[in-house]
Structure 1
Amino acid sequence: MRLEQLYHIVAIAQTGSISTAAERAYISQPALSSSVSKLEVELGVPLFKRTNQGVHPTEIGQAVIAKAMEAIDLLEDIKALAEENTRSMTGSIHLAVEPFISNTIMVNALTTFKYRHPNVNVLMKVGESNNNLRDIAAGKADFGVVMKSCSPGGERDLCFRELFRDRLVLLVSRESELADGGSITLQEAMAQPLVLYNTEFATDCWVSELLGGYGECNVAYRLDSFPMLEKVISQNLCAAFAPRFMSDYFVNKGSIVPLEITGAELDVSIVLAWTKRHHLSLIEKEMMETIKSFCAMFEFIG
């Protein structure tokens, strides 16, 4: 039994896919399959069952994988003891981040993290929060920073750690006749031509979910380009809902004005999210703490 075999069976259990696990382990799919098969022969029990819906642990496989995760946890503790002195962390992190967060909090968080840990490779995908949650659940991302329109929790197999809470505002062009009002009712806001940020042609974005309980929105555009979203707002073609903490970012642009929304409390949670099947490594926990430190400036809304 080799240590990498333990990593392999844990990766398959986390992703539910041999091909995805092989990609994450930077080896070929046949090599990963061979590694697992040899371990199954050595142990004398099947660890996985293959179906058309993916790869799933057997009953004994679940017990073996749980022990493998304990062994990996212990190994991470040993690494932590060594790296406490050297501070030379290595490895890779796959992140899925909401664009409102990537353009603000993540800029400082990534810069600080890379300064402290230059040998860690960070791969960050920017996408709409609901799409990011699907990627996290599928094992395509180690964890994410996403927006949620309700209290964290409820999704099966997902863990959430709230960073802070915020409230939505409406972004309009400085040229809009609404710009000087300072506020707008929710119904008036929903009647404006709106642009929503969507990725991969999915229309179940978190903004749609939050507003769905208040009626129909007048959606004019669904875009997966944040710069284009900014442009259509600044050109007075439409408006957009956004978290209040982004206000300074847009105000500094000079062409976009945030309006407070009256008539409803559109609260959102900014959370860290990961799947229960994923073992958080030392470097991932370090990245989470770095992100959390840059969220401390934002106050909770009661």
Structure 2
Amino acid sequence: MRLEQLMYLVAVNESKSISLAAERAHISQPALSSAINKLEDELGIVLLKRTNSGAQLTEIGELIIVKAREVLNSIDEIKSIAHINSIELNGNISIAVEPGVNITIMPDILTTFKFNHPKVNALLKVGESNNILRDVESGKADFGIILNTDAVRESKDINFSELFTDEFVIITGKDRKIAMESPTMTLQQALSMPILLYNTEYITDCGVSCILKKYGNFNVSYRVDNLEMMEKILTHGDIIAFVPRFMADEFIKTSSIKKIEIEDACLEASIILIWLNRHHLSMIEKEFIKIIKLTCCKKMQ
């Protein structure tokens, strides 16, 4: 039995796909399949059920995977002790984040992590919370930084850790009539106006809309998938968008956007870090999580 066989088994369990696990392990699919087949032959059991919908652990495989994770965690701890003063990690990390997080917090996170671990490549994707949730659930991303929504709490496959809390405010073009009338607005007034959503699919169940629907009906007039277009639309029409305060504060620094407070309600924005609960956290990823949490803590002080 070899360590890489256990690593490949954990990778397949995380992605539910032999081809995706092979891609992320940077080996060929036949080589990964062969390694797991040899492990099955050595143990005299079947670990994976290969179906049209993907690769699933057998009942005995579910028991084996628990021990495999324990072994890999122990190996990581041994490496950490051996190199506590000279950790030189290498590999890849993929993370998907909300646009507000991307423009405010991620530059510090990525530059700090790269300075500490120059041989690690961080692959960043920007998206909408519920789409990121699906990417993490499917194994396309190792981590996500998103809004906490009911979809996260209902997922049986996701672990999450709260990074910080904020509240939603309204943004619109600073030269628009609604921006000039008052620095505040009631929630019902806001919900009655045309609303722009940051959304990377043609659907309305994004993180922000999932929060808004708890307060009544609302009118979605635009869905865009980049911040530049979002800003242009807000400055050319009587349109509003709901965003966390930290994102609004960044917007108004350099753009023609104005922030409007919600005067009669506090819409909480909980920003969380998510990962698969069946995902084995490597040393690289544990270091990455430390930097994410430390950076968020400093930013929100």
| TM-score computed with the length of structure 2 as normaliser | 0.94
Structure 1 residues 200 and 89, CA gap change in structure 2 (3 angstroms): same
Q: Which residue of 1 aligns with 2:249?
A: 248
| Alignment map for 1:229-244 (pairs within 5 Å) | 229-236=230-237, 238-244=239-245
Q: Cα distance, 1:210 vs. partner?
A: 0.7
Q: CA RMSD in A?
A: 1.8
| Alignment map for 1:133-152 (pairs within 5 Å) | 133-149=133-149
Q: Which has the higher helix share?
A: 2
| Alignment map for 1:1-302 (pairs within 5 Å) | 1-149=1-149, 153-180=153-180, 181-236=182-237, 238-297=239-298
Is residue 176–residue 235 contact of structure 2 (8 Å, CA) maintained in 1? no
More deviation, 78-87/13-22: 78-87
Q: Distance in 2 between matches of 1:113 and 1:40?
A: 38
Secondary structure of the residue aligned to 1:10 is helix
| Structure 1 gap ranges (5+) | none
Secondary structure of the residue aligned to 1:280 is coil
Instruction: Give the partner amino acid of 1:280.
Output: L
Is residue 152–residue 158 contact of structure 2 (8 Å, CA) maintained in 1? no
Instruction: Give the partner amino acid of 1:231.
Output: K
Is residue 177–residue 238 contact of structure 2 (8 Å, CA) maintained in 1? no
| Structure 2 gap ranges (5+) | none
Number of aligned residue pairs: give it. 300
Is residue 172–residue 238 contact of structure 2 (8 Å, CA) maintained in 1? no
CA deviation string 1:272-293 (max 9, x = no partner): 1111100111211211121112
| TM-score computed with the length of structure 1 as normaliser | 0.94
Structure 1 residues 151 and 267, CA gap change in structure 2 (3 angstroms): farther
CA deviation string 1:161-181 (max 9, x = no partner): 001111100101011112231
Q: Distance in 1 between matches of 2:140 and 2:87?
A: 27
Structure 1 residues 215 and 50, CA gap change in structure 2 (3 angstroms): same
* Same amino acid, percent of matched pairs: 49
Instruction: Give the partner amino acid of 1:272.
Output: L
Q: Distance in 2 between matches of 1:62 and 1:101?
A: 36
